[in-house]
Amino acid sequence: MSHARLVVLVSGNGTNLQAILDACQSGQIAADVVAVFSNRQEAYGLVRAKMAGVPAIVCPKKHDQDRTSYDVQLAEKVMEYTPDWIILAGWMRILSNAFLTKFPWKVINIHPALPGAFPGTHAIERAYESYQQGKIEHTGVMIHLVPDEGVDNGPVLAQEMVEINKEDTLESLEERIHRVEYRLYVETIGKILSDVSWIERIRNAYSTSLHT
């Protein structure tokens, strides 16, 4: 099987990126990370990319630049790497259709909560607070396709529940969620690459649901 070309978009630490780089390196998934982009110069994910010998590209939004023109510019740069898949791994900007329409059904995101829960930033903190208030008993991780501008929303590719315990601190919960993220992201990318019909079925079901 030829290797898939992954472009990974990060804004921060890049620990999910690291899990993906390691899985490519070890041969766990038949893929290569061909470029890492960050909107933030100081994102440690860029250092991880360089250490893995992968092009690390900083693409900040200029102050006077509007969202559409930024997304067009980003899409053009990403396109140069002819990605098979675009992996969002802690990418903290909402991608508009100016970007997404260039890569239909090719963008994947991870969210550190279950489908429909705590969309947006600080999802783990908000889940932890909700637990303290007795509103939830567990949280989780989801991985989904990004077909449109919805935030942390889209056809679900994988989800896994993560228990919250009485003894948990925010840090211990974060650590457990991140461990699930690394495993689930790598497994899901592996499944996408090895079972084309699976992802086709998910796309078709979503398209049908939009038209009924």
Active site positions, annotated: 111
Q: Which two tokens stand for residue 23?
A: 């899985």
Tokens matching residue 50: 């360089």
Decide: is 16 part of the binding site for ligand GRF (CB under 6 A).
yes
Range 156-162 contact pairs with CB under 8 angstroms and sequence separation of 24 or more: 156/115, 157/108, 157/188, 157/191, 157/192, 157/199, 157/202, 158/184, 158/187, 158/188, 158/191, 159/114, 159/115, 160/184, 161/114, 162/138
Cβ proximity to ligand GRF, 89 vs 186, nearer residue = 89
x/- track of binding to ligand GRF for residues 112-141 (CB under 6 A): x-----------------------------
Residues 146-185 that bind ligand GRF (CB under 6 A): 181
- Residue 13 binds ligand GRF (CB under 6 A): yes
The encoded tokens of residue 138 equal: 């567990």
Q: Which is nearer to ligand GRF, 72 or 94 (CB)?
A: 94
Q: Which residues in 75-106 are b (16+ Cβ under 10 Å) and which e?
A: beebeebebbbbbbbbbebebbebbbebbebb
Among positive and negative, which fits the CA dihedral 205, 206, 208, 209?
positive
Question: Which window, 12-20, 28-36, 64-72, 189-197, contacts ligand GRF (CB under 6 A)?
Answer: 12-20
Beta carbon nearer to ligand GRF, 75 or 146:
146
Task: Find, among 167, 68, 157, 175, the residue nearest to 115 by Cα.
Answer: 157
Tell whether the torsion through CA atoms of 68, 144, 195 and 10 is positive or negative: positive
- DSSP class of residue 7 equals E
Q: What whole-number distance in Å separates Cα of residue 145 and Cα of residue 185?
A: 12
- Contact region for ligand GRF (CB under 6 A) — 11-19, 31-39, 47-55, 193-201? 11-19
Identify which of residues 45 and 155 has a Cβ nearer to ligand GRF in the complex. 45
Which residues within the stretch 24-63 sit at the binding site for ligand GRF (CB under 6 A)?
Answer: 45
Among the listed residues 7, 20, 89, 184, the single contact to ligand GRF using CB under 6 A: 89
Closer Cβ to ligand GRF, 78 or 142, answer by number: 142
Task: Give the one residue of 90, 140, 147, 155 binding ligand GRF; rule: CB under 6 A.
Answer: 90
Q: How far is the CB of 145 from ligand GRF (least distance, A)?
A: 15
For ligand GRF, the binding residues (CB under 6 A) are 10, 12-17, 45, 89-90, 110-112, 181
